[in-house]
Structure formats: C-alpha cells, structure tokens
Amino acid sequence: MKALQFNVNVPQFVAAKTLRTFFGNQVFYKGPVKTVQLADVSEPKLFTPDWVKIKTLYCGFCGSDMNLILLNGSPTASPFTSFPCVLGHEIVGEIIEAGASVQGFQNGDIVAVNPGLTCETRGIDPICGPCSAGRSSNCENFAEGSLPPGMLLGTNSGVNGGFAPTLSAHKSQLYKVPEGLSLESAVMTEPVAVALQTIFDNMPKEDDTVLVIGGGVIGNLTIQSIKALVPKCSVSVIEPSSFAEDMAKKAGADEVIPAKDIFKRTARITGAKVYKPMLGMEIPMGGFNRIYDTVGHSSTLNLSMRLMAAMGTLSVVGIGGDVKLDLTPLWLKLQTVQGVYAYGHVVFNGKKQHVFEIALDLMKNRKIQADTLVTHKFGIEDYEQMIEVNLNKQKHRAMKTVIKF
C-alpha cells in the first residue's frame, strides 16, 4: 500500500540542512535529499490477539510532523524514534479486523486512536511508574519491549501511523467515536486532548488572568478548553496572524494583545506595574497568573516569564529545540515552569476518565468546536501541496489540514 514515509540518515541530514540555505524548505519534501515521500509499505498486521486493524478515514497533519520533516526537532528524542516510519498520529478510522482477545470493539466501529506506544502496547509487565500513574503517554519504556523504539504511531518503524490506508492499534489505544459526531471533529480528538490535558495540569481559577501565546490549532483549542472548563475565566492571547487572531476571538478569547503593545496591555489587564531595566525588555511586577506558551521558542518563553505574576505557572506546550533563557523572572517571582506532553487520566465530574473520553464528550456537546478548525482536506498523493499550505498558513487561511482516505 502507498503511505507517507519519513526517513533520514546523517549524510542526508547534513545535506538537507545545507541545501536549505540556498533552496528553502522545499529540499525536505522535493529533490534528492527529501525526508518524506510516498512509499510502498507492507499491510499492517495484528501483533497479538489484543490488536485491531483499522481502515484510516482521516489523519491530521500536526506541527510536530512538520518539525520532523524539516529536521527541526531536538536530537535528544532520537533514541525514542525509529526510521523509516509512516507519519501521522491524529487518527480516526474504522475497525476492519479485531484480534481474538479484543472485547468491547467490533468490525465497523469508528474509533479515535490514542497514538502512544506504551508499556501495555509493548507487552511490558510490570508497567512503569508513569503508566501506573495514569500518564502512559510519558511512559519510560518507549525504546523497550516487543516494538521498535518510538513514542507513538508515526515515529515507529514497526507500526505505521495514519498517513496510510490501514494501520494496526492495540485495544488500549481505542476510543469509540460517539454516534453523530462528525469525522471532522473526531480527527481532532488527539489535539483537543493535548489542550485539555494542558488545562487539567494547570487549572485556572475563575478570577485568574490567563494568557495564551500562539493562536494556532493548539492555542485555539487551549482557549476553547479553558472556556469549556472555567467559563468565567478571562483569557487573553498574543497572535500575530490576523486570520488566527479572528479564529481566537471566535474561540472565546476576551482580548487579543498586539505585539507592539504587550507590556502596556499586560499592565491594563492585570494591574501590573512595568519597569524598564538598563538593558533589554521591560519586566512587570504582577502580571498573568497562568500562561500557556503554545510556541515554545526562546523569544516566547522569555516573554512569558516576564509577563507572569509572582507564584504564577507557565505551561510550556510548544515543542521547540534548544532555548536560551534569562532566569531572573523565575527566581524573582517564584515562578513554576511546567512541561506539557500528551494526555492521560484525570478526575473530571467526580470520576476518573481518560482525557480522550472527555475530549469526545465535550465535542459531542459542542462545548469544544474543533471541527471549525479543519480548513483543508487532501488526498495522500497531494502531500507536497499540504506541506506548502502549512508553510504559509496565513496566505492560505489554514488551520488544521487533514488527509482524507
């Protein structure tokens, strides 16, 4: 079957990075050193009777897929990936074959797939600490067990991701899509779960002042998640794209802060007093109680720490590479900087649930309207066009792009 496959080696890495200077990002998806291409791959198999085979319906293209293609990720995560791999981890599909030990699912069920390849999927017993604590997406055994290294579907040479007509998944990865929920909503389950987990881990109070940095897909869903869980909380956003800014307002942002007026607006919104150092950016005393940085670059992290109030919490949602930080605000204001990755189990409405379940329910009840972010659909043969649209989202008025099978 034809699938969108990623692969890279050290000489190719060096060549692509060098040629990028002269020919731009197209060297990563066109030409002799490209990292991604349509390839013939084997049909997936059921590794054990606990696995199912799924016909892919939609698979979303994530910013992390783009970072992988453009070789922008940190090498630190390389022990927990294996190549070549078929990309795609935002998956909704139909079960077409179920293993003998799979209960509660049958052929014809439409499911959203949690892409994490954890202790349970790898046949590891006893399971690790994070898995036993309900945070299996932060498993300690991503390079162990019966599968090749890989944190999730889409970064594993042994189990293909969703940019293929069919894939395999373990029963623990499956969540039934509620009847009546559109496929456009269901394909957004994974990114909605990321945003929701971000908020569950750094839950604002009704009277907190909150800032979201970045109004892209995850930033938008972070705004929607706050408004779904804490409706009276005031949310501001910093986003330079006029299209994404408009979408953020529709998502419930109370105020969009222009880049040229960040410190004055912060003072007005939060009551902070702004001071000017001898050199460098201003620093407010006071500021936002909680900040969610969905970009994760040096510039946004340094800005976040300056804009945050004493004893505030910064959630680093964006996955960047190496950063350089001025740690003065950290100690001066007794701040907490919190890592964010994926999702797990939380207590919500009095019962323990996986965040995928909560995401599906909130979308079903239209408390989160993730389908409105699906702006472009492509066939898998049009992957180059999809990448180009994602490289210039403002021009194409794009938010979430998906491959439709």
- Beta carbons of 158 and 51 less than 8 angstroms apart: no
Entry pTM:
0.96
| Residue 320 confidence (pLDDT) above 80 | no
User: What's the confidence (pLDDT) of residue 256?
Assistant: 96
Does 350 fall in a domain? no
What is the percentage of the chain residues whose pLDDT exceeds 90?
96
Q: Are residues 91 and 205 in the same domain?
A: no
CB-neighbour burial class of residue 64 (10 A; exposed 0-12, middle 13-18, buried 19+):
middle
Q: Are residues 163 and 93 in the same domain?
A: yes
What is the percentage of the chain residues whose pLDDT exceeds 70?
100
Does 183 fall in a domain? no
Examine the fold and report which residue of 289, 324, 339 is the final residue of a domain before the chain moves on: 339
| Residue 358 confidence (pLDDT) above 80 | yes
Does 103 fall in a domain? yes
User: What's the confidence (pLDDT) of residue 12?
Assistant: 94
Give CA–CA dist 130/245, Å, rounded.
Answer: 36
Chain mean pLDDT for the chain: 96
Helix%, strand%, coil% for the chain, nearest 5: 35, 25, 40
Residue type, position 61, single letter: F
Q: Are residues 152 and 299 in the same domain?
A: no
Distances (CA, A) of 360 to 159, 166, 170, 190: 25, 22, 19, 10
Mean pLDDT on 45-58? 97
CATH number of domain containing 212: 3.40.50.720
Q: Are residues 203 and 244 in the same domain?
A: yes
Give CA–CA dist 120/141, Å, rounded.
Answer: 10
If we measure between CA atoms, which residue out of 170, 200, 154 comes closest to residue 355? 200
Does 66 fall in a domain? yes
Q: Are residues 168 and 210 in the same domain?
A: no
User: What's the confidence (pLDDT) of residue 346?
Assistant: 97
**The domain containing residue 80 runs over which residues?**
2-176+369-404
Does 347 fall in a domain? no
310 pLDDT band, cuts 50/70/90, is very high
121-143 pLDDT tens trace: 999 999 999 999 999 999 999 99
| Residue 402 confidence (pLDDT) above 90 | yes
Nearest-Å Rg of the Cα atoms of the chain is 21
Start-to-end C-alpha separation, the chain: 13
Q: Are residues 258 and 395 in the same domain?
A: no
Q: Are residues 52 and 150 in the same domain?
A: yes
| Residue 260 confidence (pLDDT) above 80 | yes
What is the number of other CB atoms lying within 10 angstroms of the CB of residue 48? 14
Examine the fold and report which residue of 339, 358, 385 is the final residue of a domain before the chain moves on: 339
DSSP state of 235: E
Does 354 fall in a domain? no
Element (H, E) at 183: helix 183-186
- Beta carbons of 141 and 147 less than 8 angstroms apart: no
Q: Are residues 150 and 45 in the same domain?
A: yes
> Which two structure tokens, joined as six digits, stand for 225?
């998640």
248 pLDDT band, cuts 50/70/90, is very high
Q: Are residues 9 and 91 in the same domain?
A: yes
Examine the fold and report which residue of 320, 339, 358 is the final residue of a domain before the chain moves on: 339
Q: For residue 356, what are the contacts with CB-CB under 8 A and spacing of at least 6?
A: 112, 114, 175, 189, 190, 193, 343
What is the number of other CB atoms lying within 10 angstroms of the CB of residue 349? 7
User: What's the confidence (pLDDT) of residue 187?
Assistant: 98
Domains contained in the chain, number: 2
| Residue 83 confidence (pLDDT) above 90 | yes
**pLDDT: which is higher, 34 or 320:** 34
Q: Are residues 63 and 205 in the same domain?
A: no
- Beta carbons of 377 and 371 less than 8 angstroms apart: no
State the angle between helix axes of 189-201 and 217-229 in degrees (0 to 180), rounded to the nearest 10.
60
Residue type, position 377, single letter: K
Q: Are residues 92 and 217 in the same domain?
A: no
Does 68 fall in a domain? yes
Q: Are residues 20 and 163 in the same domain?
A: yes
| Residue 255 confidence (pLDDT) above 90 | yes
User: What's the confidence (pLDDT) of residue 259?
Assistant: 87
If we measure between CA atoms, which residue out of 218, 170, 215 comes closest to residue 342? 218
What is the number of other CB atoms lying within 10 angstroms of the CB of residue 388? 16
DSSP state of 248: H
Please list the alpha-helical segments (H only) found in 2-132.
10-23, 63-69, 129-132
Does 214 fall in a domain? yes
CATH number of domain containing 158: 3.90.180.10
Distances (CA, A) of 148 to 64, 199, 250: 20, 32, 42
